[in-house]
Amino acid sequence: MNPKKKPKSLKSGVIPVSLSLHKEVSDVPARDDKAAPVTRRVLYLSLQAIGNAIVIGIVAKALVAVIDLITNLAFYGRFSFADADPSNRLGLLVIIIPVIGGLIVGIMARYGNAGIRGHGIPEAMEQVLVNESRISPIITFLKPLSAAIAIGTGGPFGAEGPIIATGGALGSVTGQIMRITASERKIMLTAGACAGMSAIFGSPVAGVLLAIELLLFEFSPRSIIPVALSCATGAATHIALFGTRPMFAMADIPSPTPAALAVYVFFGVLIGVLAAFVSKSVYLIEDLFDRLPLHWMWWPALGAIVVGVIGYFYPVTMGVGYDNIRHLLSGTLPITLLLVLGFLKFISWSVALGSGTSGGTLAPLFTIGGALGGLIGLWTLSLFPHCGINLPTAVLIGMAAMFAGASRALLTSIVFAVETTQQPHGLLPLLGACTAAYFVSFFLMKGTIMTEKIERRGVITPHSLQPDILEKVQVKEVMDPQAKVISADSTIRESRRLILEYEGEMAAGQFIVVDIKGNLLGMVSRREIFDMAAEPSDPLARLITQAPPRIYTDNTLNQAVDLMGVAGLDILPVVNRENPHELIGTITPQNIFRAFALRSKEDELSRHSVSLRRKGLKMFARGKHLFQREK
């Protein structure tokens, strides 16, 4: 009943049969055999992603034009697509204009689609995580239109959030039309969203990194290639439609001295603390709106009252605000304007965003962070005039560190700042400051400004990208070489007795059947053996109707899990690849669970083994013991 076979290394083979499905199961190839990371489908996805990116680039240009048109109509009474910023030339009527915009957005969300509410990225993340990357087609139209109305009537948002959401929606919709898998649809959604970011800012590398850090939750050639090509195409449309000048062009900044670099890192710590405060404030305000005895349709109009009042006194706080970022990076704004953009812009934006209107977060975070970076820089220079810092650099790292701390998209923040300013000397200060802000944020808040909303709905967002443990472990590492099997010559009556006698060792739902030499013949289920219709005197071999599924020692645990799931088995025979009938062991879910648990703890165990503090304590205790013995 327990033939002794020595495990042997196996090279190639097939898993031919599923007992439960009564049809052939897909072959399980040898490790690295036919496991091409890039297939022809990646080419098809890439071509579609490029086509989508071209459309998204055009939509981005159209969105900016419509925002300018609505701004001109609302604040200047003229039909024009010329660049325009909100002003207070209309007097107290300026307070009413954002309210009208908020009311229209609320009605669109109520009677169109509630998915247009919010700032885009969290909503895209939620669709990726819980809805197989499916977004309603109407979002493709309503999101940019609602955002144009909200921003054009004075909403303190950037155009990037809505175009990211629109790009994601377009990618999702085309993915649904193409009848591709959920995983591939996720790639299309992400490619579209990040193409939108590239089309607005001309930042393709930052777009790719945004995909990795916030949307894809994976890093593989099949996903990165379409996303990268989409972002490159989006950046090309930016050049064609917006020009070659950096989005936030600024004067060249000097290379930092070691002392200045240390100061910039300290700035990052401070900005990280402020980023946590900003993120928590947004959701605190959202909670306050939730308590209002009003339908959420009215909230955007109510929040717009604050936008209008602040905008009446300081119109610079309204609208897209890209020019504000450019002025901040010049390092010449007076302290009064820095205070307005750092604090009043924050109040206006956080209330508007908390009300659930349609807008973006990137530009407001950059504006607020840049203003706070400038204020901290001025304060530092007043106290330490010879510290060697540069005020435009302080603004730049304030912008990026605010986004890094609030969103925890560390690499995106760094590369975005470099791409949109084309300041290579800013790379080292950005790396230090953004990392400091990113690090501090983990101690001050659980979620991020991008994930808090969906985490409150019970959606778990990954905080790190880790390799698949089951893909790294082979069957031979965890299989049980002492296989518990039943001889085919046993009668059904004898088999029943053996199963009941060795219930603890033979608790599986299926049993492996071998011949007298221990060769694999097939598998029989417990239900078949104990079926009252079975003749007790018949040999067990009579219940075998087809060849068994099998797996090989060089297959991965991932492949074992896939086969168990497809075949509906809780035990698999492990056979010799050179002789598929030679049984050398078995593998069960318990073997796989145990391997997963042990491999998951390897990093923690390694840290313990190299801990200097623990090692030092052991040596100290031993030395003390020897000293006492000698005494």
Q: What is the full DSSP assignment across 197-217?
A: HHHHH--HHHHHHHIIIIII-
Q: Is residue 124's pLDDT more than 80?
A: no
Summarize the confidence of residues 337-344 as an average pLDDT. 94
Let me know if the fold of 17-29+470-599 is the same as that of 40-242: no
DSSP 113: -
- 17-31, 109-123, 167-181, range with the lowest pLDDT: 17-31
Alpha-carbon distance 166 to 159, whole Å?
11
Query: What does the pLDDT read at residue 621?
Result: 33
For the domain bounded by 17-29+470-599, which CATH number is listed? 3.10.580.10
Max CA pair span of the chain: 100
Q: Which helix (H) or strand (E) holds 589?
A: helix 589-600
**Top-confidence residue, 304 or 613:** 304
pLDDT band at 602 (very low <50, low <70, confident <90, very high): low
Instruction: Order the strands of the 583-587 sheet from edge to edge.
Output: 551-552, 572-575, 583-587
pLDDT in tens, 498-531: 777 776 666 667 788 888 777 888 888 788 888 8
Q: Can you tell me which residue has the tokens 């901040």?
A: 328
The tally of CA atoms less than 13 A away on the side-chain side of residue 50 is 9
Q: Is the pLDDT of residue 612 over 50?
A: no
| This prediction's pTM | 0.79
Average pLDDT, the chain: 83
- Tens digit of pLDDT for each residue in 177-214? 887 888 888 898 899 989 999 999 999 999 999 999 88
Judged against a pLDDT cut of 60, whether residue 103 lies above it is answered with: yes
Tell me: pLDDT of 625 over 50: no
Average pLDDT over residues 356-383: 92
Q: Which CATH architecture has domain 259-279+313-456?
A: Orthogonal Bundle (1.10)
Question: Mean pLDDT, to the nearest integer, of 435-457?
Answer: 86
What pLDDT does residue 12 have?
32
Q: What is the pLDDT of residue 310?
A: 96
Q: Is the pLDDT of residue 395 over 90?
A: yes
The stretch 559-574 carries a mean pLDDT of 84
CATH number of 40-242: 1.10.3080.10
Once rounded to an integer, what is the mean pLDDT over residues 464-470? 71
**DSSP result, 270-325:** HHHHHHHHHHHHHHHHHHHHHTSSS-GGGHHHHHHHHHHHHHHH-GGGSS--HHHH
Residue 506 is predicted with a pLDDT of 64
Q: Is the pLDDT of residue 266 over 70?
A: yes
Of 63, 87, 65, which Cα lies nearest the Cα of 75?
Answer: 87
What pLDDT, on the 0 to 100 scale, is given for residue 115?
A: 78
Q: Where are the domains of the chain?
A: 17-29+470-599, 40-242, 259-279+313-456, 601-630
Pair 158, 363: CB distance under 8 Å: yes
For the residues 286-295, what does the mean pLDDT come to? 92
What does the pLDDT average to over 353-367? Answer: 87
- In sign, the C-alpha dihedral spanning 226, 199, 249, 341 is negative
For tokens 């204009």, name the residue. Answer: 97
Query: What's the confidence (pLDDT) of residue 540?
Result: 80
Any idea how long the chain is?
631
Most confident of 343-347, 384-388, 577-581: 343-347
> Is 74 a residue whose pLDDT tops 50?
yes
| 318 band by pLDDT with thresholds 50, 70 and 90 | very high
Determine the 3-state secondary structure of 513 from DSSP.
strand
